[in-house]
Amino acid sequence: MAEARNEPGTSVRSGWASGVSANERAFVVANAAVASDKQTLVFLSTEGVRLSQQEYADDIREEGFAPLKELMDNFVKAGGLIWVCSPCFKRRKLDEGKLIGGATIVGGAKLVEFLSDGSPSITY
- Look at residue 4 and tell me whether its pLDDT is greater than 50: no
Q: Give residue-wise pLDDT tens across range 103-118.
A: 999 999 999 998 898 8
Backbone dihedral angles phi then psi of residue 64, each to the nearest 5 degrees: 95, -5
Domains and CATH numbers, the chain: 10-123 (3.40.1260.10)
pLDDT for 124 beyond 80: no
CB atoms within 10 A of CB 100: 18
User: Identity (one letter) of the amino acid at 116?
Assistant: S
The model carries a pTM of 0.85
Query: pLDDT by residue (tens digit) across 9-28?
Result: 666 656 555 545 688 889 99
Query: What's the average model confidence in pLDDT over 94-105?
Result: 98
